[in-house]
Each structure stands twice: as structure tokens, then as C-alpha cells.
Amino acid sequence: MTSYPPAPEFAAQANADAALYERARADRDGFWAEQANRLHWHKPFTEVLDWTDAPVARWFGDGELNVAYNCLDRHVIDGHGDQVAIHWEGEPGDSRAITYAELLDEVCRAANTFTALGLVPGDRVAIYMPMVPEAIVTMLACARLGLTHSVVFAGFSPTALRQRVDDAEARLIVTTDGQWRRGKPAALKYAVDEALGSDPSSVEHVLVVRRVGLDVPWTEVRDLWWDETVAAASPSHEAQPFPAEHPLFILYTSGTTGKPKGILHTTGGYLTQTAYTHHNVFDHKPGHDIYWCTADIGWVTGHSYIVYGPLANRATQVVYEGTPNSPDEHRHFQIIEKYGVTIYYTAPTLIRTFMKWGRDIPDAHDLSTLRLLGSVGEPINPEAWRWYREVFGANNTPIVDTWWQTETGAIMIAPLPGVTAAKPGAAMGPLPGISAQVVDDDGTPVGSDESGLLVLDQPWPSMLRGIWNDMDRYRETYWQRFASEGWYFAGDGAKLDADGDLWILGRVDDVMNVSGHRISTAEVESALVGHPAVAEAAVVGASDETTGQGIVAFVILTGSAAAADALVSELKAAVSLEISPIARPREIHIVPELPKTRSGKIMRRLLRDVAEGRELGDTSTLVDPTVFEAIATA
């Protein structure tokens, strides 16, 4: 397979070099200590890793720092207050350039407001906001005060929001009146009211940013306007240090059951690894690069590679509020051109969408400032990789395919630009300081080109410290499978090719990946059976040309399906409403029966064969192999 060695000009100026691997191999702890010293420690650490309480790690455990101080104050103190931190581009075309000094000022006002509301370190704050600057300000204000934020993607339903607010017992929700979506204002505060309803909750205040100018329902005392509180607060605030293991955030993600897992991240190790990877994997040069990560802060990519990593590294970055086709398909390319974006980080699903829209759209723009491209969220198919490099990267830029997870907190497996000769579709190998293996069920390394399970066999600084409220589930989900080896089981399949390069093959559990978003089959099934017409449901992810996987559901009805078409649309809408539009099934098939094993387990593998139009695999363990005749004719 062709590989793409780095261009000599790129290699000559790259932040990373091959010696980094050697250094990390020779002295792992020493290597991570050096990386941690990218940060300002109010109290320097003397210990690096304490793994005695495995699988809960302590990194830099006796050190103290403040995350917001690292992302803001120190840059201003170093004389970079006038550097733009965020080129914010609103969907309707409004824009704001926010300098580090201005961002610090705003974060201090928000911190003073949160303190005035009675919040104290360790309290939880839910953030339910579109991509407006105030969302980032809120995250940093929480970090500054030692409050633990829980960002809930603004596309999630009131039910999903309520579930997360309750689990974390949030005292404050920060939201907006609404959000711009393809040229129209859509309500958002309204969803908060619906989520809170009249049942008592942990929420004492709802702080509302005015973004679209919609009228909103209002509960006196509980509800507050941002522009009447934060804007009026004092801009001076002194950041206090917190221990390195102080909780920074909870981020909910789908597991194999219907209940989302609150992934818990802490401070020192997390900021160390996000800053280290942002510097080396994106080759970021502060004061020179214009960096753009197209994720939403509702996902971990937004946390680590819009907020914490880039700001710790004094990046100047673009933050865009809207969708790539609003007002038309030129939007991303216009933004790249307008700001002279040099580093662009997105998901394969969007690259495939751009391919579908046609290359004359990017070709109509000057993209020559781009010097590095990144990909995340799902395996990138070689065809999309090559197109990305050719059309975005003038056949010259490195592409970094970055494998990681909400749980890993930061990039784990990726080529190092300027060092690695990358292969289209391969994540290549663990970064310096990171260790992974591909093994079979017994933990034995598999042969070359054989598929196996991806495990992380050494702790890493930005690893999750647990599942909020459920440490048993933490041990069970990630550490039980290879308990005797003490390895972290990632849930992904992988292989090593004959050159020893690593390829990620996708999830091996009941988690689907739709447009880079993780959705569990169980979640969608439970939303479907919540409908009175549905007796039973089985959901699978079927490969999809654009979104990676599409959700295909098979349902058994409680009564007869008189108007099947109408019911199918109703069920799709019900799933959107219950979870989020991301979880809306691509297809719903009404079937008389579902294929089950003797122990009553639904055989999703066979349903996937059906959904992808393949010949059926082995049906010998089915109770009743004839169910497929019924499914096929349904």
C-alpha cells in the first residue's frame, strides 16, 4: 500500500521528531513529567503516576494548578493579551474576534457571577448551548472555580437533558434563548423548561444567554439573563489552584446499555495530554497558525480540541456556530479563505459529504493556507483520505487520522506529522508515551493482518477516572475483559499490517457510529418500545456511504399495522424526540418476529446481514431459522 512520507519542508519545521518516541520509551514517567511542564503549576508536582489504586489513576497527584489560568491568564501575563483567541463566526454571518485579554475578562465576570449564585468547588453545572462564545466562557469559568461542568449537546432532547442533569445533580444550567439552524431561530430555553417540568430537581438557577431574540418562558428567581448578571459582574478574579486530580468535567456518552455513562475527567493529566497532542499531532505554532476544529462542544472533540488543548497552547482558532451548508455548501471553504485557516480538523462523514457535493465547490476557493488536515470520529476510508489530501491539501499536506474516545480524553493513536509516512485509512500507531496492543479474546497478540481487539496496556494522563455515580460499571465496562492483564478494553476492533501499522476496524460491541456520533442500539431500542404500537425492537448499524453507519430498526408491533407508512414516520419522529435527531433511524422494518438464540439474545449480526443486503451468515444457533423468511417477506 502506498504511504505518504512527509514533505521535507514540513518535516524540517515540525514540532515533533522521531526522537520523541525514543525519549518516551526510555523513560515514560520522565517523558510525561516533561509534557506536564508545558503547564503552569501553582504547586509543582513531585510524583508522576500513582497506579496503586488501579484502574483509577493519579497523575501528578501532589501538584496543584488552575486550568483557566493555564488557558488564559498566563498568556495575558506573557504579553499576548491582544492575540485573537477566537474568531467566532455566527451562522447568520455575524462575527466576533475575541482576544485572550477579552476572553479572560469575560471568564472572570462569569466566575464572579457563579460564585455570587452560591456555587462552590465540586458543584456541577450543566451547559446546554449552541456554539456561541459564552459556551466556552462558561466551561472556562467552571474550570476556574473548580466547578465540574457537564456539557449536554444542544441537539439532545429535554428527556436526555433531564437524565443528565439528574445524574450529575447539577445546581445550575446555562443555556441560550435559542439557536440558529439553517437560517432559522430554533428554541432552546424552552427545552430546559420542558426538561425541568414541575418535578423538583437539583437545579437552582437557569442562566440564559440571548442569542436569537426569541421570547422564552420565564420562572422568576430561578431564571436569570446572562446580559443582566455576567455582563454586570466584576472582571477581576484571582484564579485559585486545585489539586491535579480535582474533577474537571463529566461528559455523557453511550454505552452498550440504554443508560448513558458519565465519563469523568480530572485536571492535570487531562490538560497535559490535550496540550501535548495538540502541539505535536497538529504541529501547532502559537501566533502563526489559524486552527479550526469543526466539532461541537457537546462532544469530547470540542472539549479537548476547541477548548482545553488549543487554549492551553495559545492558539488562534475559528469557532463556527452553524452547519456546513448554511446558507450554502460554500460555507466552510469561505471560512477557510476568510481567516486563512492553516490547520483543519474534521470528521470523515463531513469529508464524504463534501465529496458528494462535488469538488467544484472547494475548487472555487483559495485553500492554499491549509498546511495540516486532521480526521476523527470513525475510520476514514482510503478514498475519502485521498480526496481530502488532494482537494483540501493540494496533494501535499499531512493528514493525521486520530483515534481516541470520550474515555481517553485526548488523542492516543495517530501518525506524527513530519515524522510518520501515513497510509490512507490507517491510524498508524500509538503516540509517544502511549501503548496499545491488538489481541485476541485470550489476550494473545494477533498475527499481522489478523483482526483483534484494541487494548491500551499502560495508563495515560488524560484517561477517564471513572463513571460518575457508577464505579462498578467503570470496572466492568473497561477493565473486566482483560482483568488479569490489567488492560483497558477500548471496544474497537483493530489490526496491525505487515509493516506493523495499526488500522482501526470499528466497534466490536453494540455501539453504532453515525456521523462520528456514538449511539447504542439499546438506547434506540428503548425509545422504540416506549411507543405503544411497538412490542419489541432490534436495532443495528448498517454501513452507510455518507454517515459511516445508518440506524436500521426491526420492530414487532403490539397490534396489526394498518397504516404502516404513517407509523414508521411516527416512530422515527419518536426516536428523534426521545434522544436526538442524530439517533433517527434511517429505516424501520415492521417484522413478525426477530431472530433469537436459545438463550433469547437477539442476533444482531444476522440482522446486520439483512440490513446490508448480504447473504445470511451462520443461522445454526437460532431457535427458529425460518424467521428470516418472515422478515424477508415483511
- Distance from C-alpha of 288 to C-alpha of 283, rounded to nearest angstrom: 11
The residue among 172 and 542 lying less far from ligand WT7, judged by its C-beta, is 542
- Identify whether the C-beta of residue 7 lies closer than 8 Å to the C-beta of residue 422: no
d(Cα 246, Cα 148) in Å, to the nearest integer? Answer: 9
* Residue 500 or 532 having the CB closest to ligand WT7: 500
Of 247, 260, 262, 377, which lies in the binding site for ligand WT7, with binding defined by CB under 6 A?
Answer: 377
Site for ligand WT7 contains 303 (CB under 6 A): no
Q: Does 434 bind ligand WT7 (CB under 6 A)?
A: no
Q: For residue 253, give Cα distances in angstroms to 149, 406, 523.
A: 14, 7, 11
Work out whether 404 is an interface residue with ligand WT7 (CB under 6 A). yes
Q: What SS3 state is found at 596?
A: strand
Q: Using the rule CB under 6 A, is 253 a contact of ligand WT7?
A: yes
The cell for 476 is 466492568
Question: Is there binding between residue 427 and ligand WT7 (CB under 6 A)?
Answer: yes
The least CB distance from residue 173 to ligand WT7, in Å, is 23
The residue within the footprint of ligand WT7, chosen from 405, 435, 619, 621 (CB under 6 A), is: 405
Dist CA 510 CA 522 (whole Å): 8
- Of the two residues 152 and 216, which places its CB atom closer to ligand WT7 in the complex? 152
Applying CB under 6 A, among 129, 161, 300, 410 the residue interacting with ligand WT7 is 300
Distance (Å, whole) CA 149 – CA 138: 9
406 binds ligand WT7 per the rule CB under 6 A: yes
Please, what is the minimum distance in Å from the beta carbon of residue 311 to ligand WT7? 18
For the bound state, the minimum distance from the C-beta of residue 160 to ligand WT7, rounded and expressed in Å, comes to 15
Residue 379 in contact with ligand WT7, rule: CB under 6 A: yes
Q: 258 exposed, middle or buried (CB, 10 Å; 0-12, 13-18, 19+)?
A: middle
Nearer to ligand WT7 among residue 284 and residue 507 (C-beta): 507
Q: In whole angstroms, what separates CA 309 from the centre of its chain? A: 14
The residue with its CB nearest to ligand WT7 is 406
Taking the CA atoms of the chain, what radius of gyration do you get in angstroms?
A: 24
Q: Which residues of 317-351 are buried (b: 16+ CB within 10 A; e: fewer)?
A: bbbbbbebebeebbbbbebbbebebbbbbbbbbbb
CA 358 from chain centre, in angstroms, equals: 27
Entry field: residues in the chain? 634
Site pattern 488..527 for ligand WT7 (x: CB under 6 A): --xxx-----------x-xx-----x--x-x---------
Question: Which residue among 157, 301, 397, 515 contacts ligand WT7 (CB under 6 A)?
Answer: 301
Hey, what's the torsion of the CAs at 163, 181, 569, 604, to 10 degrees?
Answer: -60
Size of the site for ligand WT7 (CB under 6 A): 23
Nearer to ligand WT7, 88 or 403 (CB): 403
Cα–Cα distance measured from residue 399 to residue 530, given in angstroms and rounded to the nearest whole number: 43
Region from 115-123, 152-160, 395-403, 536-544 binding ligand WT7, contact rule CB under 6 A: 395-403
Cβ distance to ligand WT7 smaller for residue 201 or 405: 405
- Do the beta carbons of residue 205 and residue 172 sit within 8 Å? yes
Q: Do the Cβ atoms of 279 and 302 come closer than 8 Å?
A: no
CB of 534 to ligand WT7, least distance (A): 27
According to the binding rule CB under 6 A, does residue 455 interact with ligand WT7? no
Q: Which residues bind ligand WT7 (CB under 6 A)?
A: 253, 300-301, 376-379, 401-406, 427, 490-492, 504, 506-507, 513, 516, 518
